[in-house]
């Protein structure tokens, strides 16, 4: 614009310059005083989490193998064009999507159902809740090993023993259905977490509303679908968000259950195999990881929208 500036506020008695400057200096000082407590955490996070990504970006444009040692050679987008045609990478990408989406959805649905069951008075309520949260606390490596050897295993697994006792043949679950075996363990671990979040949601429901609905003659299912479920929405969103963040990065379960393979290598495991897991092709592996970042940013944009919904209205309060 070329017109003269319009005064932002109508102030009929303009303050003297010195006082104005004084106020601005004061505001600046106040802004810094507010920022100061934030800085250590912010700087730490930037240095530890962002700097490595800049390195990754640079590596991804080079041809660089560590074993046998080779010089780093700039090759532009060569690694990325390779990647588009690499069927192993595409398969890993698809495994990642399936593993994350199915595990998150199943554990949210099961977790909600269990939370509803737990949110009723019955004998031993607290004890059953303790039983139910236990899988979430189990070390992922341990969870993978226990399911692999002692539950799903074809030699000494309890499930196969049960199948045989009932007259069915035994099934090599982990080698025949690697993806679904891993998803089973993930759902076992994450259902309790979702249940905790939903339980928190159910317990924050005001009793008076439920009471009023019941007095008005609403049915139990009517109350659930028309009052409880809308109330639970932000909790459901939080569960999906946190679950996705952690489940998209699954590594431990794959490592101890299958050690990777056509149906169970997700993108994180793929990057690992191609680099420090034995491939040692750092340039190429960096390109894969940058693609993971891009995909994550797409998911994150969606996720952050959910978050900003959660934070809405807080300023007004």
Partner 1 sequence: MTESNPIRSFLLGLLTWFIGLLFFFPVFWMVLNGFKEEADANTDPKLFFDPTLDRYRDIASGDQGLLSFGEAFTNSAWAVIVSTILVLILAVPAAYALSIRPVAKWRDVLFFFISTKFLPIVAAILPLWIIARELDILNTRLVLIVLYTAMNLPLAVWMLRSFFQEVPRELIEAAQLDGASLRGQITSVILPIAAPGLAATALLCVIFAWNEFFLAVQLNPVDGSTVPIWVTSNVSTRGNFLARLSAASTVATLPVLIAGWVAQKRMIRGLAMGAIK
Q: Which of residues 28-47 bind partner 1 (CB under 8 A)?
A: 31, 34-38, 40-42, 44-45
Cα 305 to Cα 229, 241, 243, 309, distances in angstroms:
20, 10, 16, 6
- Select the residue interacting with partner 1 from 75, 94, 252, 279 (CB under 8 A): 252
Q: Would you say 178 or 201 has its CB closer to partner 1?
A: 201
Binding to partner 1 by residue 80, rule CB under 8 A? no
Subset of 164-193 contacting partner 1 (CB under 8 A): 188, 191-192
Q: Which of residues 86-115 bind partner 1 (CB under 8 A)?
A: 114
Q: Which is nearer to partner 1, 17 or 89 (CB)?
A: 89
User: What three-state secondary structure class fits 265?
Assistant: coil
Task: Give the torsion through C-alpha atoms of 260, 263, 264, 266, to 10 deg.
Answer: 100
Using CB under 8 A as the binding rule, the residues of this chain from 143 to 162 that contact partner 1 are 143, 145-147, 149-151, 155-156, 158, 161
* Least distance from partner 1 to the Cβ atom of residue 109, Å: 14
Task: Work out whether 68 is an interface residue with partner 1 (CB under 8 A).
Answer: no
How big is the site for partner 1, counted in residues (CB under 8 A)? 102
- Residue placing its CB nearer to partner 1 in the complex, 34 or 71: 34
Residues sharing a CB contact under 8 Å with residue 200, sequence separation 6 or more, in sequence order = 235
Contact 194, 108 (CB under 8 A): yes
Range in contact with partner 1 (rule: CB under 8 A) among 2-10, 15-23, 121-129, 174-182: 121-129
Contacts of 298 (CB under 8 A, 6+ apart): none
Contact flag: residue 140 with partner 1 (CB under 8 A): yes
- Residue count (the chain): 317
Among 235, 243, 260, 264, contact with partner 1 (rule: CB under 8 A): 235
The residue (of 12 and 315) whose beta carbon lies closer to partner 1 is 315
CB of 66 to partner 1, least distance (A): 9
Q: What span, in angstroms and rounded, lies between the C-alpha atoms of 159 and 171?
A: 9
Residues 303, 306, 312: CA angle, nearest 5 degrees: 140
H or E element at residue 63: strand 62-63
The distance of closest approach from Cβ of residue 176 to partner 1 in the complex, given in angstroms and rounded to an integer, is 20
Residue with tokens 């960096």: 286
Binding to partner 1 by residue 310, rule CB under 8 A?
yes
Query: DSSP alpha helices (H): ranges in the chain?
Result: 17-35, 39-45, 51-59, 78-85, 87-118, 125-137, 140-146, 158-165, 173-176, 178-203, 207-215, 220-223, 229-247, 252-257, 267-274, 282-311
In the complex, the smallest distance separating the C-beta of residue 99 from partner 1, rounded to whole angstroms, is 13
260: CB partners within 8 A, 6+ apart? 254, 269, 270, 273
Closer to partner 1 by CB, 15 or 117: give it: 117
234 binds partner 1 (CB under 8 A): yes
Instruction: Determine how many CB atoms are found less than 10 A away from the CB of residue 129.
Output: 18
Binders of partner 1 among residues 272 to 291 (CB under 8 A) are: 272, 275-276, 282, 285-286, 289-290
- 129 sits near partner 1 (criterion: CB under 8 A): yes
Closer to partner 1 by CB, 56 or 264: give it.
56
Please, are residues 150 and 157 in contact by the beta-carbon 8 Å criterion?
A: yes
Q: Which stretch binds partner 1 (CB under 8 A): 5-13, 83-91, 168-176, 303-311?
A: 303-311
Among 238, 240, 247, 257, binds partner 1 (CB under 8 A): 238
């Amino acid at each position: 614009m070329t017109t003269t500036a319009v005064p932002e506020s109508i102030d009929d008695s303009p303050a003297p310059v010195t006082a104005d400057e004084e106020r601005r200096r004061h505001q600046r000082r106040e802004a810094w005083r507010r920022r100061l407590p934030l800085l250590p955490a912010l700087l730490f996070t930037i240095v530890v989490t962002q700097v490595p990504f800049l390195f990754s970006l640079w590596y991804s444009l080079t041809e660089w193998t560590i074993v046998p040692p080779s010089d780093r050679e700039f090759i532009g987008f060569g690694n990325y064009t390779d990647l588009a045609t690499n069927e192993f990478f595409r398969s890993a990408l698809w495994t990642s999507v399936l593993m994350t989406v199915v595990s998150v959805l199943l554990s949210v649905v099961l977790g909600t159902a269990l939370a509803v069951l737990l949110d009723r008075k019955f004998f031993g309520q607290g004890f059953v809740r303790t039983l139910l949260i236990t899988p979430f606390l189990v070390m992922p490596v341990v969870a993978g090993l226990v399911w692999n050897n002692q539950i799903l295993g074809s030699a000494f697994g309890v499930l196969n023993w049960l199948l045989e006792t009932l007259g069915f043949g035994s099934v090599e679950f982990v080698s025949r259905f690697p993806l679904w075996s891993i998803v089973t363990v993930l759902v076992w671990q994450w259902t309790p977490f979702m249940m905790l979040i939903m339980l928190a949601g159910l317990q924050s429901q005001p009793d008076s509303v439920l009471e009023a609905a019941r007095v008005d003659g609403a049915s139990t299912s009517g109350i659930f679908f028309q009052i409880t479920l809308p109330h639970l929405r932000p909790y459901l969103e939080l569960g999906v968000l946190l679950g996705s963040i952690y489940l998209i990065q699954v590594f431990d379960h794959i490592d101890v259950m299958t050690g990777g393979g056509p149906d169970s290598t997700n993108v994180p495991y793929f990057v690992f195999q191609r680099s420090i897991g034995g491939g040692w092709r750092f340039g190429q592996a960096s390109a894969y990881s940058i693609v993971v970042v891009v995909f994550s940013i797409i998911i994150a944009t969606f996720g952050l929208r959910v978050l900003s919904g959660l934070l809405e209205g807080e300023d007004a309060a």
